[in-house]
Amino acid sequence: MSSTDNDSDVDLTEDLAAVKIIKENPVARKVVRYILSRGESQNSIITRTKLQSVIHDTAREENIAKLSFSKMFMDTNAILNNVYGFELKGLPSRNNVSAGSNSNNNANQSMVEPLGHRAQRFILLNNAPHLKNLENFKLLQSVRTYEELIVDGEYIGDKIGVESLNTLENKLSTDQDLVYKGILSVILCIIFFSKNNILHQELIKFLETFGIPSDGSKIAILNITIEDLIKTLEKREYIVKLEEKSDTDGDVISYRIGRRTQAEFGLKSLEILVREIMGIEEDQSKILYDDIIKSIGDSYSI
């Protein structure tokens, strides 16, 4: 039997297990709906306390006795993974990410042991296979649609009469989503290649070179200031804000990579991003990987 046949058998077994859970565990079904709605609408981190509360309230509605959190976590993830291609993943302690690693181990060692149900905070990850041609097509169509809304250098997508055409029904991605992800990628790369430690004013200066206003005016399309966007990224834990008191310079603010970035955007993803931007062939990946490791400090430390 080939490895492909073995993989197919494993997938079938997991699918059947998920179907059984869906039939027999109504609490897990409702918890999955909550997690998906929370992830889609708010893109936010879910605390263990909140998840326990949802499980408890749902179990009471279904007249089911007290349920094991670990069992519910396992059943919920089985449905998320096998039906929707998602994973509810536990995040490491905030203190570990904020302080960085002081060990003598590889500074960018990946998180070897998943926290699973033992974590205190969770995020929803999309584990669906990456289809490069499809993703490139979607991006191309989104860019074309966006460019049609630029007239004489001005974005008109939010003008009356145009906004009715600017809907999810005729677009593959929203303009706000494109801009948000683009600026997020830029900010993360700046922090990565500043060896995972950059002062607030230095970050702002770098962003100015990309045309992002720093004078308090709002970023086009997003309609928020860069300061508010940075606060949003900190709240969502893509970045970590560090503050130090100084008698001479006042409060010194700097930023590091957050635990959400570590979970959603692994080292391999960073390598692919750099390779795509620089037009480097895949056969040069080993050299590129080594160069990235030397440049990003302890960005992926635990």
Q: Model confidence over 89-137: pLDDT tens digits? A: 998 877 666 555 544 445 455 444 567 889 999 999 888 766 666 667 7
Lowest-confidence segment of 78-82, 173-177, 208-212 by average pLDDT: 173-177
Tell which phi-psi region holds residue 169, choosing left (phi > 0), alpha (psi between -120 and 50) or beta. Answer: alpha
Closest to 186 measured CA to CA, from 226, 235, 133: 226
Look at residue 170 in the predicted model and tell me its pLDDT: 43
Task: Provide the pLDDT confidence category of residue 164 given band limits of 50, 70 and 90.
Answer: very low
Residue spans per domain, the chain: 3-126, 174-295
Task: Provide the pLDDT confidence category of residue 179 given band limits of 50, 70 and 90.
Answer: confident
Look at residue 191 in the predicted model and tell me its pLDDT: 97
Find the DSSP H helices in the chain. 3-24, 26-42, 48-61, 69-79, 94-99, 132-147, 175-192, 200-208, 226-235, 259-264, 267-278, 285-295
pLDDT in tens, 2-56: 545 455 545 557 667 777 888 889 999 999 999 998 876 667 789 999 999 999 9
What is the pTM for the complete model shown? 0.73
Look at residue 66 in the predicted model and tell me its pLDDT: 80
Task: Provide the pLDDT confidence category of residue 167 given band limits of 50, 70 and 90.
Answer: very low
**Which residues make Cβ contacts (< 8 Å) with residue 123, sequence separation at least 6?**
39, 45, 46, 88, 89, 91, 260, 263, 264
* 49 vs 289: CA distance, rounded Å: 39
pLDDT in tens, 258-289: 999 998 898 988 998 898 888 888 777 788 88
Look at residue 111 in the predicted model and tell me its pLDDT: 45
Q: Are 255 and 191 in contact (CB under 8 A)?
A: yes
Q: Which of 9-18, 143-152, 241-250, 263-272 has maximum average pLDDT? A: 263-272
pLDDT value at 165 more than 70: no
Q: Look at the block and give the residue holding tokens 């966006």.
A: 146
Give domain 174-295's CATH superfamily: MAGE homology domain, winged helix WH2 motif (1.10.10.1210)
Look at residue 107 in the predicted model and tell me its pLDDT: 46
What number of other Cβ atoms are within 10 A of residue 170's Cβ? 8
